[in-house]
Amino acid sequence: MGNTNFHHALKIREDLCIGCSHCMNVCPTEAIRVKNGKSVLFGDRCVDCGECFRVCPVSAIIIDHDDFNNIFDYKYRVALVPAVFTGQFPVDISLRQIFSVLIDIGFTHVYEVENGVEILLEAINETSTPQPEKKPLISSFCPAIVRLIQVKFPALVDNILLLKPPLDISALHIRKEMEEKGIPAEETGIFYVTPCAAKIAAIKDPVGEAASAITGVINMDILFNRVYRQVKQKNNHTCALPSGSKLSNVAMCWSLTNGEAPHVKGRSLAIDEIKNVIEFLERLENDEFSDIDFLELRACDESCAGGVLTISNRFLAAERLRNHVENFQPNPELQYPDSLRSIYQNSEYLQENISIEKVYPRSILKLDDNMAEAMKKMERVNRIMQLLPMVDCGICGAPSCQALAQDIVQGLGNIKHCIFIQKILEQKGELNLEDSVKIMQDIWGYGKTNKYRDLKGI
Amino acid sequence: MHFEFNIEGGNFSKAGTASSQLKKILKQLNVDPKVIKRVVVALYEAEVNVVAHAYTGQIFIDIDTNKIEIKLVDEGPGIPNIELAMQQGYSTASPAVREMGFGAGMGLPNIKNNTDELHVASEVGKGTTVKMAIFLIS
């Protein structure tokens, strides 16, 4: 049932991790355990939502991206920039300024991701009404949501709209444009500036696509620092000024909450933040709602403006994009040399290549592939659960009593990891104190387990 | 495997508890997602029926590798004409229930569409027993 070795952009740095378990407690798919005083990630469960990254107090969770200098491996270096990137800057810094600095620091082209929106919107609204059992269609925009559905809501994979998100459409357009100019594919590097980990995972290991047209990914926080510094240090009077954004209102706000839903025909609903999405999908799976045609689901609060790699406050970033809309002045032609033509020049080609392949479930919930085995395991899980205190304290290194019970049945845990059970075993003389302390040490590491004794000198 | 749940008549906020629980169980047992969907939809409809019409009810679920059997036993007004109740669009739900988005007369027909076997027995003034089965091996 699918490959379990997924590319994850989220990595835990063992040298920095202090095993505080904050990440374990917030993970929506229970993908993290604590062992030997460090957090450990279960790769098959992780959907790259980045909730762990947000709560880590020591920045031990990192988002693996490409080195900035990798762009110089290519003769043509395209910065594929989402609107939320510009939303990170204070309003007095203009879009043209930001783009010109991108050219200054080494890119040869700057292209806005949301240029692909209109092509996509056309395709969405041309999609024939699905059969009732495939309603509602679920947007493929947020890669963390696509993965969440695969692992946690396998019955809903067929509801995912099999169309490329604007990011991939724009990347395809750039590839096509460069090809038209006679530039060999290997000379063009397309680098996406990402607000989150999930987009990286989706580019390195696409769902429903063989390979991505995007060459590399640069984290938004890192590029922001580079650009903002440059903006502060000079006024850019000398560099070629690219024109401001040509994006329409709809395109500019596409990545924000309610960016998609109001523009899709039929009854559409927008839900952001992964726990809200999970709550809704649980009920959707029961068929409790009918007559919804389209769902825009985003893993982050305030959608991409709240991406884990953003710098600005998410509400302010969203405000900047919305305000930009009010000042929108269509500007048909880019002025800097070597610019790319409008995406409509390639609309036929893009429409032909807009589909992605079927998305397959890869359930993390099954206890065994074989149902009879799974039933035996479930009976064991239920028996173990009756012995556990059900307080979900996390001292065993698993996020809940149920998670521990399942780990035990899958050979990944031991009932003695439960502190309540340890106490009783000690009382009954079935576990000596030395072994009991050793168990704690194996979960939480030496330091945390022995702190009191070592500091007090007892 | 055997599971039991109770249903409280009139409490719509709890309708769906058993179907959600059963869904979790079936996912863990690696049952085909399409089968899970049918089971969950059928049980949810049946739960809502009990909540909407009866005073109290119980659900008995038996799962083996061949089939899923569900029995709902309620204490309630009963169904005077089962044949009529099985017709799409026929409903005796009160206006209050309809206002909550239930009672469109799709309950029993929808259960029938999603199950392989369905038996409804009812005694007016006493209650209704709904038995359904979904086979795992076609």
Residue A424 contacts B, CB cutoff 8 Å = no
Distances in Å between the Cα of A330 and the Cα atoms of A89, A244, A245 are 22, 9, 8
Evaluate if residue B95 carries a pLDDT over 80. no
Q: Is A111 exposed, middle or buried (0-12, 13-18, 19+ CB in 10 A)?
A: buried
Q: What is residue A56's DSSP assignment? A: -
The predicted pLDDT at position B129 comes to: 94
Q: How far is B17 from chain A (nearest CA, A)?
A: 10
- Which of B1, B24, B37 lies at the smallest CB-CB distance from A379? B1
- The DSSP line for A385-430 is HHHS------TTSSSSHHHHHHHHHTTS--GGGSHHHHHHHHHTTS
Chain A positions touching B30 (Cβ under 8 A) are 363, 366-371, 374
Whether the Cβ atoms of residue B118 and residue B69 lie closer than 8 Å to each other: no
Q: How far is B20 from chain A (nearest CA, A)?
A: 7
Chain B positions touching A150 (Cβ under 8 A) are none
Evaluate if residue A289 carries a pLDDT over 70. yes
Identify the CA nearest to A350 among candidates A124, A176, A127.
A176
% of residues, chain A, pLDDT over 70: 92
Whether the Cβ atoms of residue B51 and residue B59 lie closer than 8 Å to each other: no
Buried b / exposed e along A405-427 (16+ C-beta atoms within 10 A): bbbbbeeebeebbbbbbbeebee
% of residues, chain A, pLDDT over 90: 64
Evaluate if residue A233 carries a pLDDT over 90. no
Angstrom distance (rounded) from CA A214 to CA A189? 8
Evaluate if residue A133 carries a pLDDT over 80. no
Evaluate if residue B40 carries a pLDDT over 50. yes
| Mean pLDDT of the region A218-243 | 79
In single-letter form, the type of residue at position B51 comes to V
Question: Residue B19 is inside which H or E element, if any?
Answer: helix B17-28
Angstrom distance (rounded) from CA A243 to CA A227? 17
- Cβ distance A288 to B29 less than 8 Å, yes or no, reads no
Average pLDDT score, chain A: 88
* A4-33 pLDDT, tens digit each: 467 788 999 999 999 999 999 999 999 999
In single-letter form, the type of residue at position A310 comes to T
The predicted pLDDT at position A291 comes to: 84
More confident: A9 or A300:
A300
Distance from chain centroid for Cα A352: 27
Residue B13 contacts A, CB cutoff 8 Å = no
Evaluate if residue A3 carries a pLDDT over 60. no
Residue B65 contacts A, CB cutoff 8 Å = yes
The predicted pLDDT at position A457 comes to: 81
| Mean pLDDT of the region A221-228 | 93
Mention every residue, 6+ apart, whose C-beta is less than 8 A from residue A103.
A110, A239, A240, A242, A336
Residue A219 forms beta bridges with which residues? A194
The predicted pLDDT at position B127 comes to: 92
Residue given tokens 């469960």 in the structure block: A45
Q: How far is B126 from chain A (nearest CA, A)?
A: 28
Evaluate if residue A238 carries a pLDDT over 60. no
Range with the lowest mean pLDDT among A69-78, A265-274, A283-292, B17-26? A283-292
Q: How far is B117 from chain A (nearest CA, A)?
A: 20
Half-sphere exposure of A44 toward its Cβ, with a 13 Å CA cutoff?
10
The predicted pLDDT at position A396 comes to: 96
The predicted pLDDT at position A347 comes to: 84
Residue B118 contacts A, CB cutoff 8 Å = no
* A82-122 pLDDT, tens digit each: 999 999 998 888 888 888 889 889 999 999 999 999 999 98
- Cβ distance B44 to A286 less than 8 Å, yes or no, reads yes
Evaluate if residue A197 carries a pLDDT over 80. yes
Three-state secondary structure readout of A329-353: CCCCCCCCCCCCCCHHHHHHHHHHC
Domains of chain A: 1-64 (3.30.70.20), 68-352 (no CATH), 372-458 (1.10.15.40)
Evaluate if residue A342 carries a pLDDT over 50. yes
- Cβ distance B29 to A374 less than 8 Å, yes or no, reads yes
Residue of B37, B106, B115 to mutate when probing chain A, most A C-beta within 10 A = B37
Orientation angle between helical segments A143-152 and A274-285, nearest 10 degrees: 40
Angstrom distance (rounded) from CA B68 to CA B134? 5
- Which of A154, A287, A372 lies at the smallest CB-CB distance from B33? A154
Q: What are the boundaries of each domain within chain B?
A: 2-135
| Mean pLDDT of the region A377-406 | 95
The maximal CA–CA distance of chain A, rounded, in angstroms, is 82
- Cβ distance A154 to B27 less than 8 Å, yes or no, reads yes
Q: How far is A29 from chain B (nearest CA, A)?
A: 14
The predicted pLDDT at position A338 comes to: 57
Identify the CA nearest to B65 among candidates A358, A300, A369.
A369
Q: How far is A45 from chain B (nearest CA, A)?
A: 14
Residue of B17, B28, B88 to mutate when probing chain A, most A C-beta within 10 A = B28
Q: Is A69 exposed, middle or buried (0-12, 13-18, 19+ CB in 10 A)?
A: exposed
The predicted pLDDT at position A64 comes to: 85
Range with the lowest mean pLDDT among A31-35, A51-55, A113-117, A238-242? A238-242
* φ, ψ at A164 (rounded to 5°): -65, 145
| Mean pLDDT of the region A283-305 | 90
Evaluate if residue A36 carries a pLDDT over 90. yes
* A363-383 pLDDT, tens digit each: 888 899 899 999 999 999 999
Chain B positions touching A361 (Cβ under 8 A) are 33
* A414-448 pLDDT, tens digit each: 999 999 999 999 999 999 999 999 999 999 999 88
- Which CATH superfamily includes the segment(s) B2-135? Histidine kinase-like ATPase, C-terminal domain (3.30.565.10)
- Cβ distance A366 to B30 less than 8 Å, yes or no, reads yes
Residue B134 forms beta bridges with which residues? B68
More confident: B29 or B101:
B29
Residue B89: pLDDT band with limits 50, 70, 90: confident
Residue given tokens 């989706």 in the structure block: A202
More confident: A295 or A125:
A295
User: In chain A, whose CA is at the least distance from the CA of B2?
Assistant: A379
**Is ipTM strictly over 0.95?**
no
Angstrom distance (rounded) from CA A341 to CA A349? 14
- Cβ distance A378 to B1 less than 8 Å, yes or no, reads yes
Three-state secondary structure readout of A62-108: EECCCCHHHHHHCCEEEEEECHHHHCCCCCCCCHHHHHHHHHHCCCC
The predicted pLDDT at position A189 comes to: 94
| Mean pLDDT of the region A247-255 | 89
User: In chain A, whose CA is at the least distance from the CA of B33?
Assistant: A155
Q: Is B69 exposed, middle or buried (0-12, 13-18, 19+ CB in 10 A)?
A: middle
- Cβ distance A287 to B41 less than 8 Å, yes or no, reads yes
- Cβ distance A371 to B24 less than 8 Å, yes or no, reads no
Distances in Å between the Cα of A96 and the Cα atoms of A85, A214, A332, A334, B35 are 13, 24, 15, 11, 55
- Which of A286, A288, A374 lies at the smallest CB-CB distance from B28? A374
Chain B positions touching A154 (Cβ under 8 A) are 27, 33
- Which of A155, A365, A378 lies at the smallest CB-CB distance from B37? A155
Q: How far is A115 from chain B (nearest CA, A)?
A: 37
Distances in Å between the Cα of A206 and the Cα atoms of A182, A185, A356 are 27, 20, 10
Half-sphere exposure of B62 toward its Cβ, with a 13 Å CA cutoff?
7
